[in-house]
C-alpha cells in the first residue's frame, strides 16, 4: 500500500469529517510480523487552527496474533481512538543542536500541507497490540516438559517446579530430616 496523503492546505473553517477503509492486504506488507485479518475502518475529523492540525479518529479491524502462552494463532478484534496534534515541520539546521520543547515531544509533524494518514493508521495498529497477547484469559499454555498444548490435551508429565533461589532451603529440609533419624 502506498502512502495515503491527507491534504490540510484548504480545510474548511469547521473542519472536515473523514471516513476511509484501508485494504488490509496492502497494509500487511508494511506491518512486518503483525497481520491484519480484515480491512481497517477509519473515521474521524480533522481541524486546522493557524498552523496546528488536530486529527481526531478511530480505527477498528481484526489482527491475527500468536498467544504468548500456547503459541496458537487467534483473532484479536481491536478499536483504537486517538487525538493527534500536527505542526508544520521546521527546516532543521544540521550543524546546530536544538533543545526539544514539550510541543516536540507530544506532537507529530507534517510537510507540504500533507499528513501521511497511512503512517498514522500503522502507528495506531501497533499501539493496539497487547503486551502479552492471550487467546483466552484462562489459557493454560504449554507443558514445560513435553511441550503439549494444555488447552487441548492433558499430559502426564510431573513437574516439580522449584525456584532456584529456594534450593538451599530444600537441601536444609532434607538434612534436617536425615539428622532426626
Model pLDDT, residue 34: 80
Hey, which bits of the chain come out as E strands? 5-7, 16-22, 35-36, 40-49, 52-66, 73-88, 108-110, 114-116
Tell me the whole-structure pTM to 2 decimals.
0.74
Model pLDDT, residue 159: 64
Q: For the chain, report the end-to-end CA distance as a whole number of angstroms.
A: 76
Torsion angle in degrees (nearest 10) through CA of 83, 5, 128, 51: -20
User: 111 - beta bridge partners?
Assistant: 114
Model pLDDT, residue 95: 52
- Give the three cell numbers for residue 154: 492433558
The angle at the Cα of 88, spanning 85 to 32, to the nearest 5 degrees, equals: 65
- Give the three cell numbers for residue 92: 532543521
Reduced to 3 states, what is the DSSP secondary structure of residue 177? Answer: helix
User: In a 10 Å sphere around its CB, with 0-12 CB exposed, 13-18 middle and 19+ buried, how is residue 125 labelled?
Assistant: buried
Q: Name the DSSP class of 92.
A: P
Model pLDDT, residue 161: 67
State how far the Cα of 73 lies from the Cα of 67, in Å rounded to an integer: 6
Model pLDDT, residue 93: 47
Going by DSSP bridges, is the β-strand pair 108-110/73-88 parallel, antiparallel, or unpaired? parallel
**109, 89 Cβ separation under 8 angstroms:** yes
The per-residue pLDDT string of the chain (181 residues; one tens digit each, 9 = 90 and over) reads 467 888 888 888 789 999 999 887 777 777 777 889 999 999 999 999 888 899 999 999 999 999 999 999 999 999 999 999 998 887 654 456 777 776 666 788 888 889 989 889 989 998 999 999 999 999 999 998 888 999 999 888 876 666 778 788 888 888 888 887 7
Amino acid at each position: 500500500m502506498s502512502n495515503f496523503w491527507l491534504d490540510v492546505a484548504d480545510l474548511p473553517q469547521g473542519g472536515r469529517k473523514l471516513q476511509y477503509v484501508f485494504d488490509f492486504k496492502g497494509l500487511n506488507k508494511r506491518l512486518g510480523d503483525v497481520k491484519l485479518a480484515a480491512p481497517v475502518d477509519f473515521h474521524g475529523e480533522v481541524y486546522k487552527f493557524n498552523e496546528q492540525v488536530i486529527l481526531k479518529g478511530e480505527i477498528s479491524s481484526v489482527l491475527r496474533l500468536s498467544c504468548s502462552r500456547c503459541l496458537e494463532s487467534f483473532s484479536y478484534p481491536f478499536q483504537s481512538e486517538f487525538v493527534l496534534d500536527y505542526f508544520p515541520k521546521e527546516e532543521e539546521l544540521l550543524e546546530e543542536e536544538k533543545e526539544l520543547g514539550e510541543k516536540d515531544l507530544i506532537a507529530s509533524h507534517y510537510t507540504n500541507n500533507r499528513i501521511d494518514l497511512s503512517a498514522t493508521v500503522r502507528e495506531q495498529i501497533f499501539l493496539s497490540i497487547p503486551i502479552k497477547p492471550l487467546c483466552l484469559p484462562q489459557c493454560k499454555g504449554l507443558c514445560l516438559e513435553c511441550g503439549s498444548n494444555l488447552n487441548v490435551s492433558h499430559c502426564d508429565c510431573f513437574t516439580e517446579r522449584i525456584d532456584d533461589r529456594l534450593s538451599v532451603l530444600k537441601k536444609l529440609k532434607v538434612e534436617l530430616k536425615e539428622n532426626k533419624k
